[in-house]
Amino acid sequence: MTDKSKSANPQTARGKSASGWNRFFGAAEKPPVSQIDNSQLAEMARAFEESGRGWFWSTDGELRLTYVSDCVGRTLGQEAGNLIGQPLESLFRQERRADTANSRTLPFVLRTKSKFSNLELLAACDSAECWWSVNGRPEFDKAGNLLGYKGSGLDVTRNRQSHDEASRLSESDTLTGLASRHRISQRLEAALTAYKVAKRSCALMIIDLDRFKQINDTLGHQAGDEVLKQASQRLMRVVAPDWEVGRLGGDEFQVIMPDIDDRGQLGDAARKIISMISQPYTVDGVRCVIGASVGMAVAPFDGITSEELTRSADLALYAAKNDGRGRYRFYSSDLHDKAEDRRQLEDDLRDALDRGEISLMYQPVVDAGNNLIAGFEALMRWDHPEKGPISPAIFIPIAEDANIISRLGEWALRQACDDASKWAGNARVAVNVSPIQFANTELAAMVASALSNSGLAPERLELEITESVFLGENADTDNVFATLKKVGVRLALDDFGTGYSSLGYLKTAPFDKIKIDQSFVRGATESGNRNAAIITAIVSLAQALDMETTAEGIETLDTLDLIRKLNVSHVQGYVYSRPLSNHEISERLARGDLHIMPTGHDVHRYDRKTLFRMIGVIHEDHRYDVMMRNLSKSGIRIEGLVDVPVGTEFVIDFGEGQLAVATVKRSHETSQGLQFEIPLISDGSDGLCTRHRVSPYVLAAAGMPLAALPSGNYPLVGNEPIGSGKPKSLPRFSQVDRSDVLLRVA
């Protein structure tokens, strides 16, 4: 019988005698270790393997088993003797876990004929998962030939399962089941690293829940957790399958969107997410309403690394919340300056009232049937001593965040009552009440005091209240409404339909009027727009509840005609009048002049924003600096070029890689009106931006360093590529310096 056949004999290889163990541990003539001979070691080893936690093995030179402990056979569901003569690798599953820390494989270490230790391998069993940590050392003859391996194994299943559970917990958010902050950060880092090599884009969206703190404060953290769960589920329903969603902690979420740089597509996604999250929630029978603000940045335009991109998205989120919440913003380099400007505005606003910088203007509210003035809405204005007029869309959110809105609101209420009390006739005055003011239990007493001090009849005061006061319907809300109605004032539901609407509170809250938000009015006359149907539904609802309706933001005659056909009772907007001063109103009412005729453009057109900024225009291989006078989604007016023919095509360079092709439609001396080939899109606030930008990868290919887009223009844009050596043609147009306009405006 050959040596090989002997080694394959189970009885020979696995004898349980002390001499068998002596052969496993080595020749008997070796000196004892710490006064323990091989027979004692064999007895200790036998006790160890009988415990089931550890085991021993050995192979011949061909790596076939010559010894293996009984517990291994039991784990694999067969007799240990049947394993003798089988390859050592047969004890383990061939596949390896991708997340294991040890990247070595058993075949690899065996081929090296070297010692190995702590190699974690999965047992080749069909039952419950079992992990072994395996050690082994080779033995050689005097000629250096491999005689075989001897080694041991240790059951590490519990440790492995604990490690896997800890890894799973670190990868997933325990409350929502979304990816954890650690996991989503890792994924962003890995994606940007890979996309940089492949020159691909990747968008990052950070979402923060608005008014979530009020849920925790009023209903408790358990209710807050339930809202977070529901919000997470809604978020997962609206994101694309290949987007990755994680919870950063608290009420903040992050979404990674691969291969997207179209800001129109990103804006649509942000609006859908904001709308979905802003729908009411029900927790233990209580209705809760929150909102969402979104900040977005796109690699490589707004950041190359994960730190840069996250910082940019954070800054965009900060801007979105400062713009009034419930909005989205894209990152732009000027947000750094705007953040600093906002901090300065907050400091200035604290003293603005005392310095007499805050005033009220009044916009007429007109009866749609007869064009007679029915009342006026009081609108707060801030004339900054250095910056000039500051939009309420900017300073009202600042006042709310800085906890000075209550003081401003009380002043506006008292001033409006005082002004209206001196008007001839019975025109009403409407005053906005912020949710913070409404939450004040002394609101009704404050209103009664303002009426008493001014002498204004209660029925001539109308308080405009937004739907956000119904965050958590409770007895306090009902009591405030009841107390206000006892005072005798009128109540109007402002901004109806903007995301928090519920027929439930219309049944109980004693409103006299519903104001239709201007977001439903704009574009209502456009083909395929559903806003007219929404307005019809609101009017029908109001009529059924015996309420008036006011449509806000009417600016064109075609929109006014539509509003009249839809039976809206009152109209407010530039089609009748811009806001007027108290002096202008007093004089008009004193004359008894209540009739006001609508004027304006015949049809709806995109909003035009008056701007004074130097930009670049490109024609052929020449770049010109011109003054931008106004801007809309569809076109732009510029000044600075002389006698440009109608039909001339330009590339408008707004900076930061934003290019737009435009054609001259009107031209007179140094002024041109151009129409964009592709309309601009909203930046989520009051601004406009292009859908696409020049990629930093393109700029890098032209010789510029690869980096996120800074502000300003780039040599590549509007000229022959860097280093092309091509001669330029003569400029077609003369250029006039209009930078003096900036000085006059400033």
The 10s digit of each residue's pLDDT in 226-236 is: 999 999 999 99
Place 573 in a pLDDT band, splitting at 50, 70 and 90.
very high
Q: Decide the pairing of beta strands 490-496 and 461-466.
A: parallel
* Alpha carbon distance 319, 685 (integer Å): 9
175-184, 191-200, 201-210, 718-727: which has the minimum mean pLDDT? 718-727
612 touches 627 (CB < 8 A): yes
* Alpha carbon distance 679, 632 (integer Å): 9
Last residue of a domain, one of 527, 561, 590: 590
340 in a structural domain: no
Contacts of 531 (CB under 8 A, 6+ apart): 520, 521, 522, 523, 524
CA-to-CA separations, 607 to 296, 562, 682, in angstroms, rounded: 24, 19, 11
201 in a structural domain: yes
Work out the burial of residue 737: count CB atoms within 10 Å of its CB; fewer than 13 is exposed, 13-18 middle, 19 or more buried.
exposed
DSSP structural state of residue 460: G
599 in a structural domain: no
* CATH at 560: 3.20.20.450
* CATH at 287: 3.30.70.270
Segment holding 145, helix H or strand E: none
Residues 387, 475: one domain? yes
User: Given a cut of 90, is residue 160 above it in pLDDT?
Assistant: no
Tell me the CB-side half-sphere exposure of residue 499, using CA atoms within 13 A. Answer: 21
Tell me the CB-side half-sphere exposure of residue 575, using CA atoms within 13 A. Answer: 28
CA-to-CA separations, 419 to 360, 455, 479, 484, 632, in angstroms, rounded: 10, 10, 29, 21, 37
* CATH at 658: 2.40.10
Tell me the CB-side half-sphere exposure of residue 739, using CA atoms within 13 A. Answer: 6
Q: Please report which residue ranges of 117-220 form alpha helices under DSSP H.
A: 157-171, 181-198, 212-219
Report pLDDT for 159: 84
Residues 445, 525: one domain? yes
* Alpha carbon distance 720, 618 (integer Å): 11
Segment holding 465, helix H or strand E: strand 461-466
499 touches 509 (CB < 8 A): no
Mean pLDDT value of segment 257-285: 92
Is residue 570 helix, strand or coil? strand
Residues 491, 355: one domain? yes
37 in a structural domain: yes
Residues 574, 469: one domain? yes
Residues 408, 530: one domain? yes
Work out the burial of residue 308: count CB atoms within 10 Å of its CB; fewer than 13 is exposed, 13-18 middle, 19 or more buried.
middle
Report pLDDT for 475: 61
User: Given a cut of 70, is residue 67 above it in pLDDT?
Assistant: yes
Residues 423, 537: one domain? yes
443 in a structural domain: yes
DSSP structural state of residue 78: S
Nearest Cα to Cα of residue 60 among 7, 12, 107: 7
Token pair for 277: 């999250």
Total residues belonging to the chain: 746
Report pLDDT for 229: 95
β-bridge partners, 550: 515, 570
The alpha carbon dihedral of 256, 258, 259, 264 has a sign of negative
Residues 547, 518: one domain? yes
Tell me the CB-side half-sphere exposure of residue 109, using CA atoms within 13 A. Answer: 21
Report pLDDT for 739: 58
Residues 493, 622: one domain? no
Q: Which of residues 583 and 284 earns the better pLDDT score?
A: 583
DSSP structural state of residue 99: T
User: Given a cut of 50, is residue 29 above it in pLDDT?
Assistant: no
CA-to-CA separations, 517 to 180, 502, 653, in angstroms, rounded: 38, 15, 35
725 touches 615 (CB < 8 A): no
* CATH at 73: 3.30.450.20
Residues 314, 455: one domain? no
CB atoms within 10 A of CB 224: 23
Is residue 358 helix, strand or coil? strand
* Alpha carbon distance 25, 510 (integer Å): 93
470 touches 505 (CB < 8 A): yes
Last residue of a domain, one of 141, 163, 185: 163
Q: Which of residues 381 and 118 earns the better pLDDT score?
A: 381
| Each residue's pLDDT tens digit, 392-449 | 888 988 898 888 999 999 999 999 999 999 999 999 999 999 888 888 888 999 999 9
597 touches 371 (CB < 8 A): yes
* Alpha carbon distance 160, 65 (integer Å): 26
Last residue of a domain, one of 532, 556, 590: 590
Give exposure, 621-651, as e/b (b: 16+ Cβ within 10 Å). Answer: ebbbbbbbbebbbebbbbbbbeebeeebebb
Q: How many domains does the chain have?
A: 4
Place 604 in a pLDDT band, splitting at 50, 70 and 90.
low
User: Given a cut of 90, is residue 384 above it in pLDDT?
Assistant: yes
Residues 180, 270: one domain? yes
Nearest Cα to Cα of residue 550 among 362, 375, 360, 324: 375
265 touches 205 (CB < 8 A): no
Identity of the residue numbered 26: G
Place 170 in a pLDDT band, splitting at 50, 70 and 90.
low
Tell me the CB-side half-sphere exposure of residue 253, using CA atoms within 13 A. Answer: 31
User: Given a cut of 60, is residue 101 above it in pLDDT?
Assistant: no
Residues 177, 159: one domain? no
720 in a structural domain: yes
**Owning domain of residue 453:** 351-590
* Alpha carbon distance 366, 457 (integer Å): 20
Place 247 in a pLDDT band, splitting at 50, 70 and 90.
very high
E strands present in 196-284 = 202-210, 244-249, 252-258, 281-283
Mean pLDDT value of segment 656-684: 93
Report pLDDT for 393: 81
User: Given a cut of 50, is residue 221 above it in pLDDT?
Assistant: yes
Token pair for 556: 């064109």
Q: Which of residues 251 and 24 earns the better pLDDT score?
A: 251
* Alpha carbon distance 223, 209 (integer Å): 15
* pTM for the structure as a whole: 0.64
433 touches 399 (CB < 8 A): no
Mean pLDDT value of segment 658-668: 94
Is residue 562 helix, strand or coil? helix
Contacts of 724 (CB under 8 A, 6+ apart): none
* Alpha carbon distance 309, 296 (integer Å): 9
| Each residue's pLDDT tens digit, 478-518 | 788 889 999 999 999 987 766 455 566 676 778 999 998 88
305 in a structural domain: yes
596 in a structural domain: no
For tokens 């194994």, name the residue: 153
* Alpha carbon distance 39, 28 (integer Å): 9
Residues 449, 583: one domain? yes
